[in-house]
Amino acid sequence: MRILFVTSLKKQGELDEDCKRILVLALKSPKTPPQISRLADIPITRCWEKVRYLESLGLIRPVLAFVNNKGKAVRYYETSIRTDHVEMTGLENLVTSPCRF
């Protein structure tokens, strides 16, 4: 798999490592920003900022939103990149934590 976001986003600028980690994690399965924050070792505030930025670029989208039993809104995001047009190049070491739920 190759992620083409670096070449396709020259207008918006290069994505930083945190954005790339978020895209890789959300590509595998939908996740909440707190899950992404924990798995990618990104502070939660920065993770939310990056998720909003990626959403504004159309690279990530919410796929599920609900209010949990504590009254807190929960949103799951997934990468908007079609996987048949994706190839991983140089991103193998971006996510080192295994997914544990």
**Residue 4, pLDDT above cutoff 60:** no
Q: What is the pLDDT of residue 13?
A: 63
**Count of C-beta atoms within a 10 Å radius of residue 35:** 19
**Count of C-beta atoms within a 10 Å radius of residue 84:** 6
Average pLDDT over residues 20-26: 92
- CA-wise closest residue to 27 among 95, 100, 75: 95
Structure tokens of 61?
């989208």
Q: What is the pLDDT of residue 84?
A: 53
- CA-wise closest residue to 52 among 43, 44, 61: 61
Average pLDDT over residues 19-36: 93
Q: Residue 83 has what DSSP assignment? A: G
Q: Which domains does the chain have, with CATH numbers?
A: 5-85 (1.10.10.10)
pLDDT one-digit tens code per residue, 53-90: 999 999 999 999 999 999 999 999 999 876 554 455 55
